A and B are shown apart, each in its own frame.
Chain A
Amino acid sequence: MTQHLETSFDHRHLLDIARLKAGDIKTILDLADTYVDKSRAGDKKTSLLRGRTQINLFFENSTRTRTSFELAGKRLGADVINMSVSTSSVKKGETLIDTAMTLNAMHPDILVIRHSESGAPHLLSQKVDCAVLNAGDGSHEHPTQALLDAQTIRNRKGRLEGLTVAICGDILHSRVARSNIALLNIMGARVRIVGPTTLIPSNAKALGVEVSHSMEDGLKDVDIVMMLRLQTERMQGAYVPSVREYFNFFGLDKKKLSVAKKDALIMHPGPMNRGVEIDSELADDLHISLISEQVEMGVAVRMACLDLLTRGDRA
């Protein structure tokens, strides 16, 4: 499939949402729409990126994101190589650069990187000659997650502008939250973040969001509820006293959801902690839960990103 969309998308890398413009995001989502159809067809493969090399460089464990990127690359015809590097062997920026230089010498066309340190993809992008795609860096951003979330919302609600979206849970450590806040703000949605005081940055309002510490207030009349995963190590008294307390105050269940709009939908970037941040019954309710749809959109959005980022090279 060869796309010749009129586009102003001229980014070399996809490092964060913050530097994208509304037009860029629209371009990605429109293109992703076409890849949704392609992925649902019997023959899912194109030769758009034939001969191109995509390296998935994962310094942090991930199954779903890595698989999604791998599938996206393969469906576009690229040669995909997965590299998992344990974090313990790479602790210093210097070593990251060494790794980058080594990979660069192999002439990849796309580097997809996930790293536990915020800013690692930025550093990498300064050192390599190919496109760098951020697959999640520390507590900074996870741009393709926000894009796939936007795609999912747009499919169901027809628009992003004017919607009210509540992002709930561990905002402090969440790259998903930061990317989503940035994207939703750019696209004209209203964002509310909801979570315990210990898991919301103290200056969160600077992000251009409303802040709430109660689900009852935070979920009032929202169109979309995005739940975030709470890392288990944060539940044991440091940030939150216990799982049962967290679920009691911030776990999404039918009662808490009842103050949202009647047609409100729920999302979760996965993997879910059932009974911690979300009630199992609700997560599995196909009428209101978009969780499976998010995964499907993930592949399409990543195909669109890979396509757009390599256009300059392919021209």
Chain B
Amino acid sequence: MSKHKITAIINARILNPATETDTHGGVLIQDGKILDWGKDITEGNLPEGAKVIDAEGNCLAPGLVDAHAYVCEPGKEHRETLKTAGEAAAAGGVTTINAFPQTEPVIDDPSLVELMARRARKTCDVKVVVTGALTKGLEGLEMAELGLLAEAGVVAFSDGQKAIGDANLMRRALAYATMFDRPIITHAEDPTIAGDGVMTAGKIATIMGLKYIPTCAEAIHVERDIRLSEMTGAHWHAAHLSTGDALNTIRRAKDQQINVTAGTAPHYHALNDMEVGEYRTYARVSPPLRVEEDRLEVVEALKDGTIDVISSQHLPQSADSKRLPFAQAKPGVIGLETMLPVSLRLYHNGEMDLLSLLRTMTVAPAKLLGIEAGEIKKGADADLCLFDLGKPWKVVSTELKSKSKNTAFDGHLLQGRVTRTIVHGKTVFKR
């Protein structure tokens, strides 16, 4: 035992959604694993020689699992790398990133999955799991080698920000994916209706003279895929829903026990289309920011569990690709570092309790991806995050760790900040 040194985190408010635990206590870590945890772990009864970290009453939660992020490596390293994404994640309390295949080359070949895993182990402080392409080259024409990708270790299949327009292809892909027990994560937006729209339909788009996307583009796609999921039995997950219409459809499908789940991103529960203001391209995302009524519906769906997962939808874009007329600017915002603090708004506003909120960023995404994570559990890897729940701070884009600075929250005042992130028992971030 003397060889295997123990670290003790004490004096923490432990928040473990998996066990519905919210208690004052501590965690013992040995060899990168959780040796024990709970309210009985206090300063008075620690194993001899344990290294002590005093949490000073701050919250101690499982490390967050970000079910949807673009790390841009390989191929787009000018925007982000596994290393910088890892630093941003660590600063945001995220200990597992699910990397999406929108890379160059696209991750539609098993050998690339291995390459990603190897590079991540070498350069990235947090854990990285990989989502494989659903179609070859993300072109939406032919199924990718889902079976070989699954054998290589991908946790899900997705075409990222590209919707699958061909319903029959989706049908076959869903049927095929059932053999490998992986979810298909979908950008749910009918591409023919969305066209080249850049904003949500509403007063603001009309005044600004921007091409808009009707909200039904989302609902139609969701409705279509729910029916295909029902027919094939496949697990279908909506990556980031943003409209009341689509959420009602999900609600109904869940009532009918259809195997569908839903996610959203912090900007959809925290922002609305007003954010675009004077053609602010940093507020251009896909699907677009919606009107206030829809934002409220997203909050409601988080509260009643219709939305299972909050993920960052972290999509780094270079300044050049945002310094353009609104419609020409690339969509996407970074979010690894701000996912938790922005989402804590829902707690501070009294919309959600802490455990329910944390569930959407820990056990729920871990369950979606079928990975062992998001839970404080004896014997599990010690992936943890400590955060100061009430700490006020102002987002300054240039201070964020991500290589690209395209945050939608520049200048926003947030409450709650990560103070320490631990991966495999090792502190990878400390403030």
**CB contact under 8 A between A237 and B179, given known A198-B172, A244-B145, A245-B145:** no
Is B175 on the interface with A (CB-CB < 8 A)? yes
Chain B, 129-154, CB within 8 A of any chain A CB: 135-136, 141-148, 151
- Residues of chain B lying within 8 A (CB to CB) of residue A197: 175-176, 178-179, 232
Distance, CA A273 to CA B299, complexed state (A)? 55
Chain A, 163-211, CB within 8 A of any chain B CB: 196-198, 202
- What is the minimal beta-carbon distance from B382 to any residue of chain A, in angstroms? 36
Distance, CA A256 to CA B11, complexed state (A)? 56
Distance, CA A238 to CA B178, complexed state (A)? 16
- A213 touches which of B135, B179, B232 (Cβ 8 Å): B179
- B147 touches which of A202, A237, A241 (Cβ 8 Å): A241
Is B231 on the interface with A (CB-CB < 8 A)? yes
Docked-complex contact B175 and A198, CB < 8 angstroms: yes
- Residues of chain A lying within 8 A (CB to CB) of residue B143: 237-238, 240-241
Contact pattern, B 344-368, Cβ under 8 Å of A = 1, otherwise 0: 0000000000000000000000000
**CB contact under 8 A between A237 and B148, given known A196-B179, A198-B175, A202-B231:** no
Docked-complex contact B176 and A196, CB < 8 angstroms: yes
Is A258 on the interface with B (CB-CB < 8 A)? no
**CB contact under 8 A between A237 and B175, given known A245-B148, A248-B148:** no
- What is the minimal beta-carbon distance from A171 to any residue of chain B, in angstroms? 13
- What is the minimal beta-carbon distance from A128 to any residue of chain B, in angstroms? 38
Q: Which residue of B lies closest to A239 (CB)?
A: B172
- B142 touches which of A202, A213, A237 (Cβ 8 Å): A237
Distance, CA A198 to CA B172, complexed state (A)? 6
Docked-complex contact B179 and A242, CB < 8 angstroms: no
Q: How many A-B residue pairs have CB under 8 A?
A: 51
Distance, CA A242 to CA B172, complexed state (A)? 14
Q: Does more than half of chain B's interface fall in helix, strand or loop, or is it mixed?
A: helix
- Residues of chain A lying within 8 A (CB to CB) of residue B176: 196-198, 240-241
Distance, CA A244 to CA B135, complexed state (A)? 16
Is A236 on the interface with B (CB-CB < 8 A)? yes
Contact pattern, B 154-183, Cβ under 8 Å of A = 1, otherwise 0: 000000000000000100100110110000
- Residues of chain A lying within 8 A (CB to CB) of residue B146: 241, 245
Contact pattern, B 260-275, Cβ under 8 Å of A = 1, otherwise 0: 0000000000000000
Distance, CA A181 to CA B175, complexed state (A)? 23
Docked-complex contact A244 and B148, CB < 8 angstroms: yes
Chain A, 238-256, CB within 8 A of any chain B CB: 238-242, 244-245, 248-249
- B136 touches which of A202, A214, A237, A239 (Cβ 8 Å): A237
Docked-complex contact B145 and A241, CB < 8 angstroms: yes
- Residues of chain B lying within 8 A (CB to CB) of residue A202: 175, 231-232
- Residues of chain A lying within 8 A (CB to CB) of residue B136: 237, 241
Docked-complex contact A241 and B142, CB < 8 angstroms: yes
- A237 touches which of B141, B151, B231, B232 (Cβ 8 Å): B141
- What is the minimal beta-carbon distance from B145 to any residue of chain A, in angstroms? 4
- Residues of chain A lying within 8 A (CB to CB) of residue B151: 248
- Residues of chain B lying within 8 A (CB to CB) of residue A240: 143, 176
- Residues of chain A lying within 8 A (CB to CB) of residue B148: 241, 244-245, 248
- Residues of chain B lying within 8 A (CB to CB) of residue A241: 136, 142-148, 176
* 25 sampled A-B residue pairs with Cβ under 8 A: A196-B176, A196-B179, A197-B176, A197-B178, A202-B175, A213-B179, A236-B142, A237-B136, A237-B141, A237-B142, A237-B143, A237-B144, A238-B143, A238-B169, A240-B143, A240-B176, A241-B142, A241-B143, A241-B144, A241-B147, A244-B145, A245-B146, A248-B147, A248-B148, A249-B179
Known: A197-B179, A198-B172, A237-B135. 10 other contacts (CB 8 A): A198-B175, A213-B178, A213-B179, A236-B142, A238-B143, A241-B143, A241-B146, A242-B145, A245-B145, A245-B146
